[in-house]
Amino acid sequence: MNMSNSVDNSLSNDSYDALVLAAKATLRRIASEFTPAVFASSLAAEDMVLTDLILRAELPIGIFTLETGRLPAETLNVIDRIKEIYDYDVALYRPEPAAVGAYVQQKGLNAFYESIALRRECCHIRKIEPLGRALAGNKAWVTGQRRSQSSTRAALDVQEQDDAHGMAKFNPLADWSEQDVWHYIRSNNVPYNALHDKGYPSIGCEPCTRAIQPGEDVRAGRWWWEAPDTKECGLHVVDGKLVRIKPVSAQ
């Protein structure tokens, strides 16, 4: 399945244009009222829309990614494309080598397949701890999450209060559909992860991501061996539980 070719040509231009304007307005507001702010990019399609919006407008929102050490080559290639096209260096946050070494030695390189607890422990070491370092000292962080991506994201708001990290959290594309994302990418020649053309609508670490079949949930290829309601990497989870971050009315 080629996700990037699944653009619905019957998009309503009015609502699409309104979504783009609203996302731009949200990013401008973050840049003016919440500095310093950072954008946590997974380098997937949604995140490339936000990357394009931030860098074209030269907004003072730093872009980083969590380089877990298990990312697919196609994802790492996107970092080079961003440098090539926008002349921008995405900041890379890596896990503590000692923590990775201890996990691999005591539990095994791919122990995350054995239980949810071991999977969350790996995500904690490779993603959550580095995320804490990346967010430290900021007033807000931005994500490319969308409401329609999965059951775990159905209640997402554009602006939320992230008490776990003590800052505002923005999801400027919360209202966007997958079609809107690909319409933006096509219309603006935005670079994207080649795995999207191979049936991967949602992309994470290489051993924990697979292609999906037509009709499957867009996040069905992430941690496919787990039940749908556990399938978050923990970036939006505290103490092993999904956190309902408080919505904040748009100002």
Q: How far apart are CA 19 and CA 31, in angstroms?
A: 18
Whether the CB-CB separation of 196 and 4 falls below 8 Å is answered with yes
Helix (H, G, I), strand (E, B) or coil at 166: coil
Binds ligand SF4 (CB under 6 A): choice among 138, 204, 221, 231? 204
* Residue 183 in the binding site for ligand SF4 (CB under 6 A): no
Nearer to ligand SF4, 127 or 196 (CB): 127
Q: Where are the beta strands (DSSP E) in 11-87?
A: 37-40, 61-66
Q: Which stretch binds ligand SF4 (CB under 6 A): 13-21, 121-129, 150-158, 192-200?
A: 121-129
* Residue 44 in the binding site for ligand SF4 (CB under 6 A): no
Neighbours of 61 (CB within 10 A): 25
List the strands of the sheet with 159-162, edge to edge.
91-93, 61-66, 37-40, 140-142, 167-170, 159-162, 246-247
Active site residue 123: no
Nearer to ligand SF4, 119 or 146 (CB): 119
Binds ligand SF4 (CB under 6 A): choice among 27, 100, 168, 208? 208
* Residue 70 in the binding site for ligand SF4 (CB under 6 A): yes
* Residue 170 in the binding site for ligand SF4 (CB under 6 A): no
Binds ligand SF4 (CB under 6 A): choice among 34, 44, 50, 126? 126
| Smallest distance, ligand SF4 to C-beta of residue 75, A | 11
Query: How is the chain split among helix, strand and coil, in percent rounded to 5?
Result: 45, 15, 45
Query: Which two structure tokens, joined as six digits, stand for 239?
Result: 């103490």
* Residue 100 in the binding site for ligand SF4 (CB under 6 A): no
Name residue 236's amino acid.
Answer: H
* Residue 68 in the binding site for ligand SF4 (CB under 6 A): yes
Name residue 224's amino acid.
Answer: W
Whether the CB-CB separation of 82 and 47 falls below 8 Å is answered with no
Nearer to ligand SF4, 100 or 168 (CB): 100
Query: Which two structure tokens, joined as six digits, stand for 83?
Result: 């440098």
Q: Which residues bind ligand SF4 (CB under 6 A)?
A: 68, 70, 112, 119, 122-123, 126-127, 204-205, 207-208, 233
Report the catalytic residues.
Answer: 233
